[in-house]
Structures are given as C-alpha cells and as structure tokens.
Structure 1
Amino acid sequence: MELVNLKDASDAVTFAEAVKKGLGKHQGLYFPKKIKPMDNIDELLALPLVERSIKVLSHLTENELPAETLESIVKTAFYFEAPLVQVKENVFNLELFHGPTLAFKDFGGRFMAQVLSKITDGAPITILTATSGDTGAAVAHAFHGIENINVVILYPKGKISQLQEKLFTTIGGNIHTVAIDADFDACQQLVKTAFDDPDVRDGLHLNSANSINISRLLAQVCYYFEAMSQVPAEKRKDVVFSVPSGNFGNLTAGMIAKTLGLPIKRFVAATNLNDTVPRYLKTGEWAPNKTVATISNAMDVSQPNNWPRIEALIEQGYLPKEILQGDAIDEEYTQVAMKQLAALGYVSEPHAAVAYRSLMKDLQDDEVGIFLGTAHPAKFRETVENVLGQPISLPQALADAVAKEAFSADLPNDYEALKAHMISLLQDKQ
C-alpha cells in the first residue's frame, strides 16, 4: 500500500511505515495514493463483522500485511458488536460503545495497538497522543501492557468528564497521563510540535495514536459497513449518516467507506458550537474561532486535524462536494434533542444528541437516517442526569475505574515543560 503525505507528495510510505511514523514531514497527514472500489458489496454485507472487516482492511492495505497476521489482528481488536438500534421509524442509532472503554474509539485504538505490536519487532516506541475525552481511554486500554511501547496522553485539564478521565488516568504501568492547563486544540499543537522536534521524535521513537494515524482511520471504515449490513437491502441507497464531529476522523472513515462502494446517499457533519467546518461549507472561508467549551466536550475542536483528508477525497474526484453538508447545534438544542430521544425511549449522551438533531432537521420522508452513538451515556452521567432529571447506572467498567487512584502530571501549556517531562520519564526506557 502506498500512502502520500498531503503536504509533501515526495514523502511516500508503505502502510507499516505510516503507522510507525504517525505524521509525515511538515506535520502532513498520510493518505492512500489511490483508493480502489470494492466489488460485490452485497456479498460483503452478508458476512459477519470480523470476516468482512478482514476483507475490507486487506483491500485497503493492498494485502501488505500477511493474511494470517491481519486475521489475528482483527479478531483480537474487534471482539465486540456495533448494533443498529431503532429509535423511530426510519431513524436508527449506530451504537459504537460496546467495547472495553465504552466509546467508538475502541475500534481504532485496539486495531492500531495490534498492528504496531506485529510490525515493530520489539523496537521501543513512545505513543504521544492528545484526547478530548474518549481517545485517551481507548488508547490506554489498547496499549496497556504491550512490551516496549510507552504511552503519553495529553488532555485539557478540567475540560473532560470525570468519568472519562478516570478511565485512562488510573491505569499506570506503561500508560502516562498529563493534564495540560489549556484546551484540546493546544494539546494537539503540543503533539505536533513534538513531532517536529528531532530530540523527542527520534530520541523517544515517537508515534501518535490520534485519528491522524492511518491505522485508526482505516479501522473505523469497518463499522460503516457493519451499520449498512443491518439495513434492509432495498433501503441501502437511501441511507443518510449523521456523524458527531470534532477532529473529523469519524466522518473521514465514512467517506472512505463510500469511496469503496458502500451505497451511502450522503453525510451530515454535525458539530456543536465549534462550527469551523459547517461555516466553511457554507461560505468557503476557513476561519476557526477560539474553542468553546460545551457539554459535548469530545467535539470541542476548532481546528480539526482530519479535514485535509476529506478535502483530498473531494479534490481528487472520489466524491462530490454535495455529498456532505454541515450543521452546528447549540447547547440549548443539544439538550432538547436529548429530551426528545428520551421521550422516544432512548437515553443518549450529548454527542449522539447533536448528530440526531442535525439529522432530523432535514431528513426526507424516503430516506433512512443513521446517527452515530459514539459513547455510552454513563460516561457523561452528570450531564445526562441533569438534562433528563433521571438517574442512570454505571456499567461495571466505569464503576471499577471510579474507585481507583489517578496517576497524572499537571503541566502548563508550554512545550519545553512537556519535553523535559517526557525525557525525564522515558529516556531510560528507550
């Protein structure tokens, strides 16, 4: 498989190289040089999740990984379901929170961890990643205990839910967490700066597990196929996906699935008040505002890293621009949507509620709407209980995490402070 740096076409790598590097030169994203459509989509959709995902990922990576290796990776990574749950007539939620950390990022995080463990042959690696909530837990649990891999997770202090924080700051071992006194965009920038610093990038053998890593992105393609497999064949050409969007990896994966031949009619990029993309789609002007804190905090991103990949799909002629529309939902209507879903008998957290609200604003009578449920409602228990006025119980994974002691360092939004901390922490482990 050949991937090209979207900022420097001369920087071309294999799938394994892209996974190990994370980011390319000039902080560029790696993207497939060519995406070939798949044949026999209906036959694929008749297969079970794991068997189908092996075929999809083998096709995307152009058989770069040996068949037995890829089969082992997928079977280990995707051991949980992704059910399509009906909310009302022709409207469904794709529940992506049945993995070990109760969030959609378990798909990408576990796949990446297994890939890296197979292709690095025991060489030391430091995973440096930023999280706006769910990535941290998914990455921490996926990499915990893997030999020769250390993980450093940056997160915005006081800007993610306490339950989200507990899921990844209580693990210890090879998982190291740092609370940064800033917002998520600042955490992302610290990660990018580290990749441009040879002392850290080369000295600590740096890699990233954010959705900028191509392995996470390709893994997420698989659950769009899983969703469509649960839609009656005669309705598949009328499916609209509404995707709660922060860093835009989730939506990018859906658009790759469409490029492969999945018969998705169109997409809605649903954001909260951090509406850079919806405004851009309407005006053509890329004008990020200062990040605003919202109750859908995992989407509090004003400069989404994955957007260049979506633009590449459109500019390279894979998909028409019209297939995507953007919509921003404010705090009031996020809560309205949560109450509307509860009235239908479905308890939702804020991110899925944003996607539901955007979907319902323009879904046509002859269309089937699917909005993505990216996290279990209990991960946002305080918000859900406050909005709905009813208690919700904690799944066992969360209940266990709450009782544990957190291990986390506090640092200012200062790269030199982070660099010194990482070198002190990890240099003797390389």
Structure 2
Amino acid sequence: MKLYNIKENDEQVSFGQAVRQGLGRNQGLFFPSNLPKFDDIDALLAEDFVSRSTKVLSALIGDELPAEQVNALVDAAFQFPAPIKQVKDGVYALELFHGPTLAFKDFGGRFMAQSLAAVSDGGKITILTATSGDTGAAVAHAFYGMEDINVVILYPKGKISPLQEKLFCTLGKNIHTVAIDGDFDACQALVKQAFDDQVLREEIGLNSANSINISRLMAQICYYFEAASQLSKAQRENLVISVPSGNFGNLTAGLLAKALGLPIKRFIAATNANDTVPRYLETGKWEPKPTVATTSNAMDVSQPNNWPRIEELCRIKEWGLETLGKGAVSDEQSAESVKALNALGYLCEPHGAIAYRVLEEQLAEGETGLFLCTAHPAKFKEVVDDILGSDIELPGPLAKHAVMELLSEDLANDFDALKAVLRRVQ
C-alpha cells in the first residue's frame, strides 16, 4: 500500500510508515494512492464481519502484510458486534458502542494498536493524541499495558462528560492523561505542534492515535460494510447514512467505503452548533468560529482534521461536495430528538440523536435511512437522565471506572509545558 501526503504529494510512504509516522510533512494527512473497488459486493456482504473486514483491509494494504496476518489483526481488534436496530419503518440505528469503552472509537483504536505492534521496528514509541471524549478511552484501553509504548492523551479540562473522563483517566501504567486549559481545538493544535518539532519526534518516537492515523480510519470503513450486510439488497441500494460529525473521520471512512464499491446513495454530515462544515458546504467559505461547548461534546470541534481527506476523495472520484447532505442541530433540538427516539422505544444519547434528526429532515420517500449511534447512552448519563427524567444503569465498564480515582494532571495551553511532560513520561 502506498500513501501520499495530501499537502506535499512528493512524500510517499508505505502502510507501515504511515502507521508509525501518523502525520506527514507540514502536518499533511496521508491518503491512499490507489483505491481498489470490489465488484461482487453481494458476495462480500454475505461473509462474516471478520472475514469480510480482512478482505477489505487486505485489498487496501496490498502485499505489505499477508492476508493471514491481517486476519489475525482484525480478529484481535473486532471482538464485538456492530448491530443495526430498527427504530421505525425505513429507519435504522447502527450501534457502534458494544466494544470495551462503549464507543465507536474502539474499532479504530484497537486495530491501530494491533497494526502498530505488527509494523513496529522495535524502538520506543510515544503515542500523543487529543480527545473530545471517546477517542481517549478507546486508545487508552487499546494500548494499556503494551511494552515500549507510552500514551499521552490530551483533553479539554471540564469539557468532556465525567464518565468519559473516568473511563480513560483512571488506568495509570503506560497511560498518561493531561487536562488542558482550553478546548479540543487547542488540544489538537498542541498535538500538531509536537509533530512539527522534528527533534522531539525523533527523541521520543512520536506517533498519534487520532483519526489522522490511517490505520484507525481504515478500520472504520469495515463497519459500514457490516451495516449494509444486515439490510436487504433492495434497502442498501437506496441507502442514506447520517453521520454525527466532529473531527470528520467517521464520515471520511464512510465515503471511502462508498469508493470501494459499497452502494450508498448519499451521506449526511450532521453537526452540533460547531457547524464549520455545514456553513462551508452552504457558502463555499471556510470560516471556523471559536468552539462552543455543547451536550454532544465529542463533536465540539470547529476545525475538523479529516476534512482535507474528504475534499481529496471527492476530487479523485469527481463527486461534487454539493452531493453531501448537511445539517447543524442545537442542544435544544438534540434533546427533542432524544425524547422522540425514546418515545419510539429507542434509548439514544445526543450525538446519535443529532444524526437521527437531520436524517429525518432529509430522508425522501422510498429511501432507507441509517444513523450512527457512536456511544452508549450511559456515557452521557447526566445529560440523558436530565432530558428524560431517567436513571440509566451504568454498564460494567463504566460502573467499574466510575468509583476509581482520576490520575490526570492539569496543564496550561502551552507547548513547552507539554514537551516537558512528553520527555518526563519516557
């Protein structure tokens, strides 16, 4: 598999290099030089999740890793299902929260951990990543206890849910969590600064587990195929998918699935009040505003990292950006949708509810709608309980970590302070 740097096309790397390196020069994202296309989609969808995912990922990776090894990586990473649930006639929820940290990031985080171990050259590695909530837990649990890998996770202090924080800030060992005095975009900017510091990169073996890492993104492609496999042929030929979008890795993966041959009619990018992309699709002007805190905090991103990959894919495939659906939803509207879904007998949290609302507004007669539920409702217990007047029971992983002591340290939004932390944890 060959990948190129979107910003500096002359930088071309292998899959292994891209996984180890994370970002290219000038903070450029890596993108596949060639995208295979599956012709017999029906036969592919008839296979089981692991076997199908192995074929999808092997086609992307090429002969760099043998199929048997890819199968072993997938089998170790995807040890939980991605079921769809019917909410009402013609509308389905794709539940991506059945992994160990109850969020869709488990798929990418675990596959990246397996991939990095497979392509590692044996040196020490420091994983530096920023999280707006769910990435932190998925990465922390995926890499917990792995030898020669230290993980440093930055998150915006006071701007993620208490249960999200507990799930990854209570582990210790090789997992180091840092509460930054700022928003997610500030955390993400610090990560980018670190990658721009060549001396630091080489000194600590810097890598990232954000969706900027191609292995995480590739893993997410697989659950779009899994969702389609659970629908009838007629349903998937007229399928519209609504994706709750923050950093836009999830939507990028879906569009890549379509590029590989999955017959998805169209996608909808659903955001909260941090609506940089919907406004851009409307006006053609990229005008990020300061990030605002919402009840769907995992989407509190005003400068989404993965957007350049979407533009690159649309350029290559000659898909007009105007074909993307879009919509921005307020906290009040997402709360209304949580209530509406609950009335239909489906318990959902704000991120999934946002995707559902925009899907409902834009789904045409005769289309099948699918919206992504990216986290278990209990991860946002305070918000959901407040909306519904309920008392959601905590699943095992949350109940276990809820009573544990936080191990995070607070840090100013200062790159020199972060460098000191990165060097100290070696």
Q: Under TM normalisation by the shorter chain, which class is it? A: over 0.9
CA contact (8 A) 1:145 1:173 kept: yes
Verify the 8 A CA contact 2:164 2:379 in the aligned structure 1: yes
Distance 1:320 1:283 in 2: 14
**TM-score, normalised by the number of residues in structure 2:** 0.99
1:220 aligns with 220
> CA separation in 2, counterparts of 1:320 and 1:412?
42
- Counterpart residue number, 1:325: 325
**CA apart distance, 1:424:** 1.9
Partner of 1:407: 407
- Unmatched tracts of structure 1, length 5 or more: none
Shift in Å at residue 121 of structure 1? Answer: 4.1
Instruction: Give the 4+ runs in structure 1 shifted more than 2 A.
Output: 317-323
Q: Spell out, residue by residue over 1:4-51, the C-alpha distance to the aligned partner (whole angstroms, 9 max, x if none).
A: 000001100001100000000000000001212112110000011000
Task: Measure how far apart 1:403 and its partner are.
Answer: 1.4
1:136 corresponding residue in structure 2:
136
Q: Secondary structure at the match of 2:94?
A: strand
Q: Distance in 2 between matches of 1:319 and 1:149?
A: 40
Q: What letter corresponds to residue 360 of structure 1 in structure 2?
A: E
Report what 1:18 is aligned to: 18
Equivalence for 1:347: 347
User: For residue 190 of structure 1, what is the aligned residue in structure 2?
Assistant: 190
Which string of whole-angstrom CA distances, capped at 9 and with x for unpartnered residues, describes residues 136-178 of structure 1?
0000000011111110000000000000000101111010000
CA contact (8 A) 2:132 2:299 kept: yes
Q: Which residue of the partner structure matches residue 371 of structure 1?
A: 371
CA distance in 1, matches of 2:39, 2:415: 48
Q: What is the CA–CA distance in structure 1 between the aligned matches of 2:335 and 2:244, rounded to whole Å?
A: 15
Q: Measure how far apart 1:123 and its partner are.
A: 1.8
> What is residue 36 of structure 2 aligned with on the other side?
36
The Cα offsets for residues 99-149 of structure 1, whole Å up to 9 and x where unpaired, read as 000000000000000011111143210000000000000000000111111
Q: How many residues align?
A: 426
Q: Distance in 1 between matches of 2:425 and 2:149?
A: 13
Instruction: Find the aligned partners of 1:318 and 1:153 in 2 and give their Cα distance.
Output: 37
Q: Is 1:98 paired with 2:118?
A: no
- The 8 Å contact of residues 276 and 289 in structure 2, kept in 1 or not, is answered as yes
State whether residues 18 and 30 of structure 1, in contact with CA within 8 Å, keep that contact through their aligned partners in structure 2.
yes
Alignment of 1:6-405 (within 5 A): 6-405=6-405
Q: State the TM-score, normalized to the length of structure 1.
A: 0.98
Q: State the distance in 2 between where 1:396 and 1:423 align.
A: 35
Is this contact kept in 2: 1:235–1:368, CA < 8 A? Answer: yes
- The unaligned stretches of length 5 or more in structure 2 are none
**Mapped partners of 2:358, 2:60: distance in 1:** 30
> 1:341 deviation in Å?
0.3
> Do the aligned partners of 1:259 and 1:318 also contact (CA within 8 Å) in 2?
no
1:318 deviates by 5.0
State the shift of 1:61 in Å. 1.2
Amino acid at match of 2:162: Q
> How far apart are the structure 1 equivalents of 2:374 and 2:323?
22
Q: RMSD over aligned Cα, in angstroms?
A: 0.8
Q: State the Cα deviation string for residues 288-342 of structure 1 (Å, max 9, x = none).
A: 0000100000000000000000000111225343431211001110110000000
Is the 2:281–2:322 contact (alpha carbons within 8 Å) kept by the matching residues of 1?
no
